Structure 1
């Protein structure tokens, strides 16, 4: 049964059969993507291929709260983006405007504070990021906000989806994902926002459809959707969906590099600076989970991590993209199973 099943779980099930681990699929009877893996007298229940038996609620909810995670990392000496948190009142419904003046005031103060160091540049061109304080897969994340009003508008339009928000400085750099198992850095990739490259013959709409099909074929959990963000980006590049991009012209389709929205993972494990290993391990020590991923920004993965900025930490990470990343792939499923069963 694959309907409703996450790609992570499928990879784990296949790897388990090779390792001689018994697979007890509970999805047919329960209707949820739950599998119990058994070997050597030990049972490991796994939900959706990433929520495992050792994941403590404390660590999961701590890292789900991106603002608290950043505070913890900063106290430990790591670099994180400067940011401010905002929460709508409990009494605020999705339809009323009780908190909107307070939101506008917060956005003005946060934007002014985050862009103050751009004193020699017009404040209207200093970008910031607004995102949910606890969100996944890049939902409602908006980059390149260049006015306080734009910050407030973005949050206000989505206040029915998320109650708590972060506004933080936008840091330039490569979007680096580091995957750890048992405190060891085992895979690294740079994630690139969804884009297509013109060939001088094919309309943009067809290029997008080809990319969408490739993304979904690699991981059915990921989808490239031509939404308002995509349409605005295309227009900003002087194109329409029926236009034919010139040969080798790269057309950007998303602002963020989330793979769930059509981004691409490029493996950099072999070229990663060796200092990233102990650096990432010291991050993992703060959370104490076997499986951990770090999202960071860096100038280049070849440089030491001293200048890297940590965006967030994931104790229940999406790891399957390492199995289809460009320039190199990794069998994360086998490594995870070996960790659980001490194989």
Structure 2
């Protein structure tokens, strides 16, 4: 299967992006360098192309009850123009995907899903829609998305719109805003651990908007940012990545995102398993750790205690903001408490590590 290009592919090439394949898409892993881009987002701002993400519109009288059955969070708590993060589970509690739900009104919701899961999620949503008065529309190919992230994101955006973006709350959106003269959907969301905005537009206008945002951001130190720093940023904030901290074999409770599982909203896929895990504690948990020896942990490295494998690294990296080599690992629950010690096997050598609290990084004021 040929890897796909986003509407910004030529723009990335023009800006010197190093292109790699990710989830079936050709995307920039970096421009100037991952560390530079990471620092820019933490201290100033970075601009990401996230047009590879999927979008599915759910409309109809049963839109709410349908979503309540499919996802673990309580969608009924959403006000119009509010955004909600939620896992979506299989009946056995394993995770289909984690996604954002944008509530437009009582019978219209937009789901933003992970790029590598678009086809799988679309099948799952359509199979589960039987018996509900809903209509599903896959808008993935008709939607481009830019993410402007960092502490100066609001100041940059104010130069491009008359919309009072300073009044837009975190995890709220404006269905129709004018940015650089174009009509877009604008949300105050992101995946970096920083403040920021996501701009949804039609693919034909993506390159124009990218250039407009870059131009407005130059005085503020805005940099184009690639997948490499997107991963180190989300990882420092301990935000899960599907296929690593979450999967069909890992439940939201095991992943430590219990607060997005609402057991009191009624029946939903996976509820019995998740209720059992919440009541008695899961047998495995995602733990954060720092290496106390030399080395960098990577996904799939074994986690060892007293000669026995007790788990697996799900994400590991050098953390630029902390200047430490840290990781997330799915381990036996008894080893997941801060202060616990174990080893990570790195190229045949056991390197000592200690469990530390998550998230590893919080932005100021959080």
Q: Which has the higher strand share?
A: 2
Q: Which has the higher helix share?
A: 1
TM-score above 0.5:
no
TM-score of the aligned structures, taking structure 1 as reference length? 0.27
More relative contact order, 1 or 2 (CA 8 Å, 6+ apart): 1
TM-score of the aligned structures, taking structure 2 as reference length? 0.26
